Structure 1
Amino acid sequence: MSTDIVAVDIGGTHARFAIAAIEDNDTITLGEPVTLHTEAHASFQTAWEHYREEMGGALPEKVAMAVAGQIKPDLIRFTNNPWIIRPPLIAEKLGCAAHVIVNDFEAVAHAAARAPSGQFLHLTGPDGDLPETGTISVLGPGTGLGVAHFWRSTAGEYRVQATEGGHGDFAPLDAIEDSILARLRKRHTRVSTERVVSGPAIVDIYQALAAMEGRAVVEMDDVAIWTAGTSGEDSLAAAAVDRFCLSLGSVAGDIALVQGASGVVIAGGLGYRIRETLLASGFADRFRAKGRFSGLMATIPVKLITHPQPGLLGAAAAFAQVHGTS
């Protein structure tokens, strides 16, 4: 016996939908996902209606939603897209009998807690499975920087905590990062970590490096820089990608220290796309470079989750934790 639900993962750029089956033995199976661009739809409601039409006009009456924003009881605003969701109206607007709403990286943490060892790529630290107990930090760069963590008990249970860790202050570690910070301060009074460690941030990194070298700033969007940098066809773009990896390593180490983590998971589509670059970069060195705590950092395994849709899986897992298969 299983329960079918609609799993939804809404980020700054994309909204993903899939039908998920939650089995009595607590396993979750995802159907084929449908990805919509948030900018192509006026609201979540119209995107939902588009998906419903694609699925033949009818959907399961149970919904699990992962959203890129702070979860509030009356009104949810997205951090990096203009949509809003009013939780008290969800049952009426979507025609659902039960629903769960979680932060998008809360959902990713659920997925990381459930994913088998074969769905992780080792990045640094001890090359074994993630610890069976304790706190595991989860972070990932995308349109912004998501941060969460989960805690495993000796009984095999886990609990997830969403955070807004991506909005902590960016801390430069060398003269190059000082220059990046100075550039960003011209536009932002306070420069948060996700202004440097996120997909779109590669533009500012690239332009800051160009200015340091006295080059004319070439207008390139983030996709073009990532493409040119990871392929190696543009040396300045490649330097920007390397600098991004360094900063991601520093931030991942900071998060692990703040959360008292015994393991770290890097998640998100961007992390997966640059996985080979991450392995060859200074990410690991920066993760460990915490002064008196460098020895401790070297004992923490850092993995990259390779599940293709961790947000959808995690949303369904959050629903299962709350409602089971009832």
Structure 2
Amino acid sequence: MSGAGSTRREIVVADVGGTHARFAIAEIAGGKCLSLGETTKLETADHASFQTAWEAFGSRLGRELPREAGIAIAAPIAGDTIKMTNNPWIIRPRLIAEKLGLDAHVLLNDFAAVAHAVDGVGEEHLLHVTGPDKPLPEEGIISILGPGTGLGVAALLRENGRSHVIPTEGGHADYAPLDSVEDRLLAALRDKHNRVSVERVVAGPGFRTILEVLAVLEGRPVPKGSDPELWTLALSGKDSLANAALDRFCLCLGAVAGDVALTHGPGPVVIAGGLGYRLREYLPQSGFAERFVSKGRYRELMSAQPVKLITHPEPGLFGAAAAFAKANS
């Protein structure tokens, strides 16, 4: 049977995070994303609202935008007003169609979009990190988490040939230190934030705090630079203190990933997020794997779970397109 869902058509896709808003034109048909056009990345700080950023994308594209869209936002999709955690924009779901001139759209959490991407990409976009080197299972639950400006967490349930995406706010669970260095880290963060979530540690801004704690421990000055510059320094391997902070970040990420896997299943894990992608070469050789499986009586069970990293360059946009296509097939 043919229908609207089987017809090839273009839609706008957007992936709105704390630092950047990404836009592209996607082609969909048959409940799937067939292709993704060139990405336009805008700084959220340079635009007053999502609507003005949308208009800026249209101006750059130089053509009339399609009247259908898949929109992923780094916030819980609930209520009449969406206030983003790491972005001052306020989005009112009921007004989206009117403000953007849309006939149809899907609005979803950004990591729900990434979960749709994990479900839709091929194995060529899934890099092995640790555990058994085998494809993701066709049945069961898969956890997706990724560090960026914040820490996104979602779950993908595959059951009886169907896939169900479950958005969560697991990045805001309490942080649990596992050694004396991390006790210091928790104390430093508690002084700033009172309650310390895992997002305060294993997301982009958390790296600076780790670096500062290690600097105090050694009586050394903290390397200068913005957060992105410090990340670049750490990944370059040119500064021993920054490299030690990177090792600690990977240890903490492994522990959190293991906790998320236990909470959801346990089952396989896929690492995503902007920082996840930057860590794709470093993570497999770090202490991530040991911390992931170090769950006491469940060590053997955790050792049986594959951990992969999605290497698709724009999983949020791809997933937003896939979610719209699936909802309109």
Range into which the TM-score falls when normalised by the shorter chain:
over 0.9
Aligned length: 323
Report if aligned partners of 2:33, 2:321 keep a CA contact under 8 Å in 1.
no
Q: Does 1:318 align with 2:323?
A: yes
CA distance in 2, matches of 1:308, 1:205: 28
CA distance in 2, matches of 1:84, 1:28: 31
Q: Does 1:212 align with 2:217?
A: yes
Report if aligned partners of 1:135, 1:151 keep a CA contact under 8 Å in 2.
yes
Report if aligned partners of 1:13, 1:37 keep a CA contact under 8 Å in 2.
yes
CA distance in 2, matches of 1:76, 1:25: 27
Per-residue CA deviations over 1:293-326 (Å, capped at 9, x if unaligned) read 00000000000000010000111111112112xx
> What is the 5 A alignment of 1:1-326?
1-24=7-30, 26-155=32-161, 157-324=162-329
Shift of 1:88: 0.9
Q: Which runs of 5+ in 2 are unaligned?
A: 1-6
Report if aligned partners of 2:72, 2:108 keep a CA contact under 8 Å in 1.
yes
Per-residue CA deviations over 1:118-143 (Å, capped at 9, x if unaligned) read 11100011001011110000000000
Report if aligned partners of 2:10, 2:28 keep a CA contact under 8 Å in 1.
yes
Secondary structure of the structure 2 residue equivalent to 1:71? coil
Per-residue CA deviations over 1:60-87 (Å, capped at 9, x if unaligned) read 0001100001112311111101001111
Give the letter aligned to residue 171 of structure 1. Answer: A
CA distance in 2, matches of 1:122, 1:218: 32
CA distance in 2, matches of 1:211, 1:184: 14
Structure 1 length-normalised TM: 0.97
Report if aligned partners of 2:31, 2:325 keep a CA contact under 8 Å in 1.
no
CA distance in 2, matches of 1:67, 1:194: 17
CA distance in 2, matches of 1:55, 1:275: 31
Query: Considering only aligned residues, what root-mean-square deviation do their CA atoms show, in Å?
Result: 1.1
Per-residue CA deviations over 1:7-30 (Å, capped at 9, x if unaligned) read 000000110001111123634211
Report if aligned partners of 2:31, 2:326 keep a CA contact under 8 Å in 1.
no
Secondary structure of the structure 2 residue equivalent to 1:148? strand
| Structure 1 residue runs of 4 or more that deviate by more than 6 Å after TM superposition | none
Per-residue CA deviations over 1:14-49 (Å, capped at 9, x if unaligned) read 100011111236342111111101011111111011
2:3 — aligned with what?
none
Report if aligned partners of 1:201, 1:222 keep a CA contact under 8 Å in 2.
no
Q: Which runs of 5+ in 1 are unaligned?
A: none
